[in-house]
């Protein structure tokens, strides 16, 4: 394996400084990316040297098993040696030279048992941390809810106020700002067409259920008025006060 110079800050061979403490596994570093243009101009980016380039980034954990293999002059991606070790390691899962390299950080407990932790990818020389699946779902759901809420707000504003408010001139608005609401006939026709199309798509209303046996439906207001109107006209007789309206008084004859 060709040796490459360490040009990034935090490398133990750079000015004799120890490497900075790497972030613990699971730390969200999706907001940053790493790119060393000097290294890219000096060395080719292929499957043999891409790990040396990845080790310059802040995503690299210096306590991993791959670093132990590097100190022993063994290729850090040699799976025959990594499978015999325990701890954190990086493997190259997907390669599309020279544009895309995908690294998977995992914890090895045995030659057969590994637990995936994080994923990193090198795209055209820039190194990124891939977001976790739960964060992707949360971002997509939040974006969808935002657009749905915005659509409902726009629809509500259209339905609540059809037309526009024509204000008076600025001088008259100082005295009294009275808006003149006008109805837009085009909007009314458009809403009527929408409602009519929705009504055609809906199934017809089911018939009302029958009344149970022995149940007499209450008479409606029209039936009551019709049935009461007839006897009222027949039995309506002008009322006579028996005390007042008795005609002229009769005098007793002597």
Residue-wise pLDDT tens digits, 16-64:
555 555 555 457 788 889 999 999 999 999 999 999 999 999 999 999 9
Q: Residues 212-238, buried b or exposed e (16+ Cβ, 10 A)? A: eeeeeeeeeeeeeeeeeeeeeeeeeee
Sign of CA dihedral 213, 219, 223, 229: positive
**Number of folded domains that form the chain:** 1
Residue 210 in domain: no
Residue 101 and residue 95 in contact, taking contact as beta carbons nearer than 8 Å? yes
Residue-wise pLDDT tens digits, 194-233:
888 877 777 776 777 776 666 666 666 555 555 554 454 4
Residue 212 in domain: no
Residue 91 in domain: yes
What is the pTM for the complete model shown?
Answer: 0.49
Residue 143 in domain: no
Bridge partners, 33 (sequence order): 128
> Which residues span the domain enclosing 81?
33-130
CATH number at residue 54: 3.10.450.580
């Amino acid at each position: 394996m060709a040796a490459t110079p360490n040009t990034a800050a935090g490398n133990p061979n750079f000015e004799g400084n120890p490497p900075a403490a790497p972030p613990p596994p699971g730390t969200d570093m999706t907001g940053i990316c790493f790119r060393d243009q000097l290294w890219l101009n000096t060395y080719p980016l292929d499957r043999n040297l891409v790990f040396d380039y990845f080790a310059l980034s802040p995503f690299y954990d210096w306590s991993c098993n791959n670093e132990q293999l590097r100190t022993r002059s063994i290729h850090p991606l040699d799976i025959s040696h990594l499978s015999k070790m325990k701890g954190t390691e990086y493997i190259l899962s997907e390669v599309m030279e020279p544009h895309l390299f995908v690294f998977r950080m995992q914890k090895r407990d045995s030659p057969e048992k590994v637990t995936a932790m994080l994923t990193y990818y090198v795209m055209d020389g820039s190194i990124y941390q891939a977001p976790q699946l739960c964060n992707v779902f949360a971002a997509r759901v939040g974006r969808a809810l935002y657009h749905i809420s915005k659509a409902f707000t726009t629809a509500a504003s259209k339905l609540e106020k059809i037309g526009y408010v024509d204000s008076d001139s600025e001088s008259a608005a100082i005295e009294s700002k009275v808006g003149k609401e006008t109805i837009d006939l085009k909007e009314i026709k458009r809403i009527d067409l929408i409602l009519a199309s929705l009504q055609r798509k809906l199934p017809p209303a089911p018939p009302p259920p029958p009344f149970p046996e022995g149940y007499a439906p209450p008479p409606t207001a029209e039936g009551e008025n019709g049935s009461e109107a007839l006897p009222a006209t027949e039995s309506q007789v002008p009322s006579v006060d028996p005390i007042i309206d008795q005609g002229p008084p009769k005098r007793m004859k002597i």
